[in-house]
């Protein structure tokens, strides 16, 4: 930045006009008094000479001369008094003017000192700040750059002066910065901010956040001040955080799939082993019952009842672990089957509707939608106190939408999806699983007005995934 200086020292001739006026008053008035004095003396002398000569008018001339002398003496006294007063006033004016000049000079010196201190502080801030400072003209030419700016970009101090600021930007950011800069100047904004990428002298690339404003130099020319901060590390941290979140969602989805696979394996085991064994035992007991032994009939009847209850429990457990309907009949039938379970566990009347059904639904998406619907209906049973619940499945182009409505008491949605000590893990799991396949969940609820939940997901997931293929045709069937 160019140095600015000014000479505020008092001039030697600053009191010259005042002194000249004072000198004129000082010499002119005594000169007039002297002339009047000579004239009076001459007149008095004439009167004295005439009074000594005999004549009839001598007494009259004497009195006349005395009157004229008295008048002239009075005029001379008044003139002298005025002169003294004028001289005193001139001295007082000179004193006050001198004090005023000294005060003005003192203030100018103080202002100069404050300006110099401010300039030193500004220069220290400009040169020693950890951020990059540039000043440009309206054409984008670099007028100045602080040492930190040159250092962070890998240049020698002063090497960037006179060049175009766009030359230090990465190729894919130049047009954007050029447009932003032109818009900033044309709109006469006070300040503007943007992010861009810059290329260092060694070819490496950094990401910066820039704050741009306009100032005016000593000549009144518009100068652009650019404050530039290196945010490369912050951007890398944000990218790592996004990758971590994406990995977490993928892990959540894979965990859900693994859990579903384990549930299915257990369900198959219960069906093929425990269920078959119990069914066979029931048949044998039934045959024993008709063998004719009357004493064994009551005992056999009780065993048969116990086996029947065991079979019912096994079937219920099988459906809880993994719905066979989902794999055998498809997503629509599985969602519809949740109605009887809901009505059996509560007093809620359930309705299901489907329209524009997609021909195929990926296995992972079908499992996530089914589990999400089951979790949301369980929450309705536990908390809603609803009398009616409706589920709608609808296809919309390359997306699928699932809506769940109830007329219950509703709840506060401020912390929806955030787990806490009081619960909320089920809804959080639903949200994360839907995000893992590019889906979303929207919850609208208010006290005493019920709840409306909308789940929407794409039918195809562009990310490469390892999914289970067993029974896929039956799962994706509509």
Backbone angles phi, psi at 271, to 5 degrees: -70, -45
Are the C-beta atoms of residues 457 and 365 closer than 8 Å to each other? yes
- Is it the case that residue 133 has pLDDT exceeding 90? no
Q: How far apart are CA 218 and CA 212, in angstroms?
A: 20
The token pair at 13 is 């001739």
- Is it the case that residue 24 has pLDDT exceeding 50? no
Instruction: Please report the pLDDT score of residue 92 as a whole number.
Output: 82
- Is it the case that residue 120 has pLDDT exceeding 70? no
* H or E element at residue 136: strand 132-136
The token pair at 188 is 């006469």
- Is it the case that residue 57 has pLDDT exceeding 70? no
Provide the whole-model pTM: 0.45
The token pair at 468 is 């289970």
- Is it the case that residue 353 has pLDDT exceeding 70? yes
- Is it the case that residue 423 has pLDDT exceeding 90? no
| Lowest mean pLDDT across 106-110, 159-163, 366-370 | 106-110
The 10 Å CB-count burial string (b at 16+, else e) for 288-325 is bbeeeeeeeeeebeebbeebeeebeebeeebeebbbbb
> Which residue has tokens 């945010």?
231
Are the C-beta atoms of residues 408 and 465 closer than 8 Å to each other? no
Query: Average of pLDDT values for 154-175?
Result: 90
pLDDT band at 109 (very low <50, low <70, confident <90, very high): confident
pLDDT greater at residue 334 or residue 25: 334
Q: How far apart are CA 26 and CA 448, in angstroms?
A: 102
Query: Average of pLDDT values for 324-341?
Result: 84
Instruction: Please report the pLDDT score of residue 303 as a whole number.
Output: 73
- Is it the case that residue 470 has pLDDT exceeding 60? no
Query: Average of pLDDT values for 313-326?
Result: 71
Q: Which of 60-64, 197-201, 279-283, 463-467 has the largest mean confidence?
A: 197-201
pLDDT band at 438 (very low <50, low <70, confident <90, very high): confident
Are the C-beta atoms of residues 478 and 467 closer than 8 Å to each other? no
Are the C-beta atoms of residues 345 and 384 closer than 8 Å to each other? no
Instruction: Please report the pLDDT score of residue 293 as a whole number.
Output: 63
Residue 156: which of 124, 201, 125, 198 has the closest Cα? Answer: 201
Query: Average of pLDDT values for 420-438?
Result: 71
| Lowest mean pLDDT across 63-72, 334-343, 363-372 | 63-72
Instruction: Please report the pLDDT score of residue 292 as a whole number.
Output: 62
* H or E element at residue 204: none
pLDDT band at 319 (very low <50, low <70, confident <90, very high): low
For the 129-230 domain, the top CATH level (class) is: alpha beta
> Which residue has tokens 């004095």?
37
- Is it the case that residue 205 has pLDDT exceeding 90? yes
pLDDT band at 171 (very low <50, low <70, confident <90, very high): very high
Q: How far apart are CA 389 and CA 350, in angstroms?
A: 5
- Is it the case that residue 108 has pLDDT exceeding 70? yes
Query: Average of pLDDT values for 263-274?
Result: 73
Query: Average of pLDDT values for 146-151?
Result: 86
pLDDT band at 275 (very low <50, low <70, confident <90, very high): confident
Q: Which residues pair with 134 in a beta bridge?
A: 145, 226
- Is it the case that residue 23 has pLDDT exceeding 50? no
DSSP secondary structure of 401-439:
EEEEEE-S-----TTTT--BTTB-HHHHHHHHHHHHTT-
Instruction: Please report the pLDDT score of residue 307 as a whole number.
Output: 77
Q: Tell me the three state secondary structure of residue 212.
A: strand
Query: Average of pLDDT values for 92-119?
Result: 80
What is the pLDDT of the chain when averaged over all its residues?
Answer: 76
Strands ordered across the beta sheet of 222-230: 142-145, 132-136, 222-230, 205-216, 191-199
* H or E element at residue 454: strand 451-458
The token pair at 213 is 């404003």
C-alpha separations of 213 from 111, 190, 210, 216 in Å: 26, 6, 10, 11
Instruction: Please report the pLDDT score of residue 402 as a whole number.
Output: 92
Instruction: Please report the pLDDT score of residue 55 as a whole number.
Output: 56
Query: Average of pLDDT values for 27-50?
Result: 63
The 10 Å CB-count burial string (b at 16+, else e) for 349-387 is ebebebeeebebbbbbbbbbbbbbbbebbbbbbeebebe
pLDDT band at 475 (very low <50, low <70, confident <90, very high): very low
Query: Average of pLDDT values for 274-294?
Result: 71
What is the DSSP pairing of strand 388-396 with strand 349-355? parallel
Query: Average of pLDDT values for 91-97?
Result: 83
Q: How far apart are CA 267 and CA 237, in angstroms?
A: 44
> Which residue has tokens 């060049």?
163
Q: How far apart are CA 363 and CA 471, in angstroms?
A: 9
- Is it the case that residue 163 has pLDDT exceeding 70? yes
- Is it the case that residue 240 has pLDDT exceeding 80? yes
Are the C-beta atoms of residues 314 and 274 closer than 8 Å to each other? yes
CATH topology of domain 323-478: Heat Shock Protein 90 (3.30.565)
């Amino acid at each position: 930045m160019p140095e600015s200086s000014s000479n505020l020292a008092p001039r030697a001739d600053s009191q010259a006009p005042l002194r000249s006026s004072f000198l004129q008053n000082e010499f002119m008035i005594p000169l007039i008094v002297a002339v009047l004095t000579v004239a009076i003396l001459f007149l008095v002398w004439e009167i004295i000479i005439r009074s000594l000569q005999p004549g009839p008018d001598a007494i009259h001339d004497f009195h006349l001369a005395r009157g004229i002398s008295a008048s002239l003496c009075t005029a001379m006294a008044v003139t002298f008094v005025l002169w003294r007063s004028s001289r005193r006033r001139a001295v007082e004016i000179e004193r006050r003017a001198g004090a005023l000049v000294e005060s003005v000079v003192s203030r100018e010196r103080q202002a100069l000192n404050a300006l110099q201190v401010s300039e030193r502080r500004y220069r220290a801030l400009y040169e020693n700040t950890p951020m990059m400072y540039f000043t440009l003209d309206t054409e984008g030419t670099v007028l100045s750059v602080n040492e930190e700016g040159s250092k962070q970009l890998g240049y020698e101090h002063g090497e960037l002066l006179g060049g175009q600021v766009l030359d230090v930007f990465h190729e894919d950011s130049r047009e954007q910065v050029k447009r932003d800069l032109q818009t900033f100047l044309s709109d006469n904004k006070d300040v503007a901010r943007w992010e861009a990428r810059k290329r260092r002298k060694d070819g490496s690339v950094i990401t910066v956040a820039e704050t741009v404003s306009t100032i005016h130099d000593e000549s009144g020319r518009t100068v652009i001040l650019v404050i530039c901060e290196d945010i490369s590390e912050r951007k890398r941290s944000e990218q790592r955080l996004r990758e971590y979140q994406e990995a977490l969602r993928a892990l959540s989805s894979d965990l859900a799939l693994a859990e579903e696979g384990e549930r299915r394996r257990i369900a198959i085991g219960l069906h093929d082993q425990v269920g078959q064994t119990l069914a066979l035992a029931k048949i044998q007991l039934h045959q024993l019952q008709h063998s004719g032994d009357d004493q064994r009939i009551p005992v056999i009847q009780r065993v048969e009842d116990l086996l029947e209850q065991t079979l019912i429990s096994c079937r219920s457990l099988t459906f809880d672990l993994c719905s066979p309907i989902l794999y055998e009949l498809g997503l629509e039938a599985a969602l519809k089957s949740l109605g009887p379970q809901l009505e059996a566990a509560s007093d809620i009347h359930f309705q299901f509707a489907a329209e524009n059904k997609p021909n195929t639904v990926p296995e992972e998406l079908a499992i996530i939608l089914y589990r999400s619907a089951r979790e949301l209906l369980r929450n309705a049973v536990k908390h809603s106190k609803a009398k009616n619940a409706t589920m709608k499945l609808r296809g919309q182009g390359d997306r699928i939408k699932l809506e769940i409505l109830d007329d219950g008491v509703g709840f506060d949605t401020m912390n929806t999806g955030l787990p806490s000590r009081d619960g909320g893990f089920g809804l959080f799991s639903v949200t994360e699983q839907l995000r893992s396949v590019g889906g979303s969940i929207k919850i609208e609820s208010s006290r005493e007005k019920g709840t409306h939940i909308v789940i929407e997901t794409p039918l195809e997931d562009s990310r490469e995934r390892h999914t289970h293929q067993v029974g896929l045709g039956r799962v994706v069937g509509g």
